[in-house]
Structure 1
Amino acid sequence: MTDLSDSVTGNPTSPDVPVTQAYIRVVLGMMMIVMIINSVDRTILSILVQDIKVEFSLDDRQMGILLGPAFTVFNVLASFPLSAFADRGHRRLVISAGLFFWSLFTTLTALATGFWSLLLLRMGVGIGEASSTAPGQSLISSYVRPDQRSQSLSVIAIGAVLGLAIGMMLGGYISEWRGWRTAFVVAGLPGIIFSVIFFRTIREPNNIEHPVTWMETIKEM
């Protein structure tokens, strides 16, 4: 990867945290981990479908709702307000809090008792995961020049693809070993822990000159 130490825009971090090449790589690496966890928690349900269907006697229509609208509708609805709040200088908070939130709901899926509890938990995962992609891209963009953002932002795509592969393998292996409930715990707990590490490590860039409100953004559209 190109030397990123000269790629910083503005005054990205608080004075006590020097912006070095190593620090920028930490930002990129941690955002990749966030996206890996995002993809794992999003996709793990799909590999555990059969076991869940059998235990709760669910039909294909119900599983279709859990795999589709229960996640996507609430993910879409939450994306805009969370991204607007992140644009006001709260990207680190939005990403870390969202990571904690969706990882908690992933972990709690292990306690599901039927379709309706799975539905509510899946909605929670969808809402939480709305916090990562757009705010993450914005955060990364604040650390690098425009002409080097494509390669830096590739960590978002790479993390998502890696998470897909890991989620499929992890879900299948853990489910066979200890059951589908354990698979959700194993998938969710790392995100809860990492959300704290992310919040304590990453610094919010200080180069947001004109934060706008959600309603102002809507009016401009």
Structure 2
Amino acid sequence: MSDFSSIRNIYCVGRNYALHAKELGNDVPEEPMIFGKPTHALAPAEGELTLPGTIGEIHHELELVVRIGTEYAPGKPLDELIDGIALGIDWTARDVQSQLKEKRHPWLLAKGFKGSATLTEFQPFEGAEAFRALTFSFVKNGETIQHGSPADMIFPLEQLVHYIGDRFGLGQGDLIYTGTPAGVGPVADGDRLALTLGVSGGSESIVGQLTVRLA
């Protein structure tokens, strides 16, 4: 099982893929939308994952995640700041989120429950250009439901890192969930999930496998 003890802060980026914003009827933002999750939300992308089954639909949002390896400083290049990449699922209690939006309340109840920050093992970060060439997919019961590439991000990785670092600070052990492509939707008890990662023009390999349990 993954060791999350070294992870400090979890920053997440909302609506960073235009088609995802449109599928939920949201405006495309003019600057990054940042929210957070508690570290108690972390869960490994392996084995069985228990999610709340009594608060309405729970939606999957697959994302590329970067890990910060050193203290942020303005102008510091990404190669010096980032030491790993992974896939993560930003699980969202969609019905709860809709209620919070109506009240203009923060999203924490919909985004921060236990297990809502699923994470695969990390791989080395090989630079901004290599990151842009990545592709990733969410496969549910053998069917590809989400597929994306950071080349389609509204706000590229460098902008996200500096935006967050300048406003909130970034340090070793911080994570950034960089946004989800279109195709988000609900999961059911017993769904079998595979998370795959590859490079544009090539095949993708499974980096995470799990079974959903709603309780």
The TM-score, its normalising length taken from structure 2, stands at 0.28
Larger radius of gyration: 1
TM-score normalised per structure 1: 0.28
Q: Which has the higher strand share?
A: 2
Higher helix fraction: Structure 1 or Structure 2?
A: 1
